[in-house]
Amino acid sequence: MIDFLLPSLGADMDRAKLNLWLVEPGDTVHKGQIIAEVETEKAVLEVECWDEGVIEELLVQPGPEWLSVGTPIARIRALESADTPGPVETPRSPGQKPLPARPPAGRPEPAPPIRHLAHELDVDLSSLQGTGEGGTITRSDVRAAAAPTGKPATAIPISGEQRVKASPRARFLADRLGLDLSDVAATGSGGMVSAADVEAQPVPAREPEDKVAAMRRAIARSMAHSKREIPHYYLATHIDLDEALRWLEIQNAERSVGERILPAALLLKATALGLREIPDLNGHWIDDSFRPSSSIHLGVAVSIREGGLVAPAIHDADQLDLGEMMARLRDLVNRARSWRLRSSEMSDPTMTVTNLGDRGVETAFPVIIPPQVAMVGLGKVVDTVVAVDGSPAVHPVIHATLSADHRVTDGHRGGLFLATIDRLLQEPQSL
């Protein structure tokens, strides 16, 4: 029997509330499966299971109490691997909620916003026939499936309260007005709460739960810790992106809009490969010593529209090709912005990148996220006069900065790292 513990949820995050179970006793679970949803002060996170087995007992019920990281929350009976040579199929109990499934192989994968909408509306994507181009599942398909005249409802609440079906805007408005969505009379198709329903609701039923304020407190703790403890040094360099952006434009000309690669993916890949060459910027400072990481889990700073910031990880970023990097980045940003990150993504970035170029900033001076030991800042791409073979030319140029922990590295290593990123970006086809 294995006790499944509330996992680590990121630096300075040592407690969480259990919002929802996605499994029940008797369910077979596998590695990487999302089994619960928890809420920290910083984000709503999906908890992944790291064991194979059958859920024996749920030790904690959803509720407002804070649970410490490491608290046993479920008991899992390990499967005898010798007895189970193939994938194990256990009969589904009548009330069992289907897993958030992807459509069968051979069909195009729905875009992250569609998967998010399906999750919000409790629609099982694997049961849908897409009407979009090439069988793609569209928003309309998901909304139609949520309606009673469409597919039968696939989700049955198994424990905790049922997630109310609501459009993202309705959820946003309810949050802002401090309304509980379950108190709002739904007039939308399939009992979905629409924005108009929320606006029609007269009096706020409770104090708004201020996710943003909680996130600010978490950022305050982490950043104050960083500035108090970490002796930062800062380096900056200009990187000519003429070659890289020209190459990317050619690549994108042949790609459909959904497969298009943003320059950010290229910059992240170059950074990840740079860490392979200069590994002493990749890891954590714990108990007065540097612990290098053998994997490169690149944190990406994502701003939240309502205010605040999270920096979840793209796992094994150095091993992804550009298309995969873009898909992962897009998925991560979308889930971060809809407060749906996974526990592992918050707990294990080994170095983080902040890209403020989109906001018009030319140069960023990042504050390292403890216990990491470095952070890269990327500014906006600016057309700049540069000398090419002794003559002036106008090229797109980006300002790349490095903040690094002087306890671990010196300026010389940091400088080599920025020079490596520069070199890699001059050969974009090798990224």
State the minimum distance, in angstroms, from the CB of residue 194 to other proteins: 10
State the minimum distance, in angstroms, from the CB of residue 396 to other proteins: 14
Nearer to other proteins, 259 or 427 (CB): 259
Nearer to other proteins, 149 or 256 (CB): 256
Q: Quickly count: other Cβ atoms within 10 Å of residue 358's Cβ.
A: 11
Nearer to other proteins, 38 or 186 (CB): 186
Angle 257-260-265 from CA coordinates, rounded to 5°: 150
State the minimum distance, in angstroms, from the CB of residue 52 to other proteins: 35
State the minimum distance, in angstroms, from the CB of residue 213 to other proteins: 17
State the minimum distance, in angstroms, from the CB of residue 363 to other proteins: 18
State the minimum distance, in angstroms, from the CB of residue 327 to other proteins: 12
d(CA 13, CA 70): 12
Nearer to other proteins, 44 or 49 (CB): 44
Nearer to other proteins, 159 or 194 (CB): 194
Nearer to other proteins, 132 or 415 (CB): 132
Nearer to other proteins, 295 or 363 (CB): 363
State the minimum distance, in angstroms, from the CB of residue 77 to other proteins: 40
State the minimum distance, in angstroms, from the CB of residue 390 to other proteins: 33
> Which residues of this protein are in contact with other proteins, per CB under 8 A?
111, 113-114, 116-117, 132-133, 136, 138-140, 167-169, 171-173, 176, 195, 249, 252-253, 255-258, 260, 262-264, 303, 305-306, 329-330, 333-334, 358-359
Token pair recorded at residue 388: 């090419």
Tokens 């079906």 appear where? Answer: 165
Nearer to other proteins, 28 or 355 (CB): 355
Nearer to other proteins, 135 or 157 (CB): 135
Nearer to other proteins, 359 or 406 (CB): 359
Contact 330, 277 (CB under 8 A): no
Nearer to other proteins, 150 or 160 (CB): 150
Inter-CA distances, 332 with 45, 116, 170, 416, Å: 12, 12, 22, 29
Nearer to other proteins, 282 or 355 (CB): 355
**3-state per-residue secondary structure call for the chain:** CEEEECCCCCCCCCEEEEEEECCCCCCEECCCCEEEEEECCCCEEEEECCCCEEEEEECCCCCCCCEECCCEEEEEEECCCCCCCCCCCCCCCCCCCCCCCCCCCCCCCCCHHHHHHHHHCCCCHHHCCCCCHHHCCCHHHHHHHHCCCCCCCCCCCCCCCCCCCECHHHHHHHHHHCCCHHHCCCCCHHHCECHHHHHHCCCCCCCCCCHHHHHHHHHHHHHHHHHHHCCEEEEEEEEECHHHHHHHHHHHHCCCHHHCCCHHHHHHHHHHHHHHHCHHHCEEEECCEEEECCCCCEEECEECCCCCEECCEECCHHHCCHHHHHHHHHHHHHHHHCCCEEHHHHHCCCEEEEECHHHCCCCCCCCCCCCECEEEEECCCEEEEEEECCEEEEEEEEEEEEEEECCCCCHHHHHHHHHHHHHHHCCHHHC
d(CA 173, CA 393): 50
d(CA 182, CA 173): 13
State the minimum distance, in angstroms, from the CB of residue 255 to other proteins: 8
State the minimum distance, in angstroms, from the CB of residue 360 to other proteins: 9
State the minimum distance, in angstroms, from the CB of residue 173 to other proteins: 8
State the minimum distance, in angstroms, from the CB of residue 364 to other proteins: 14
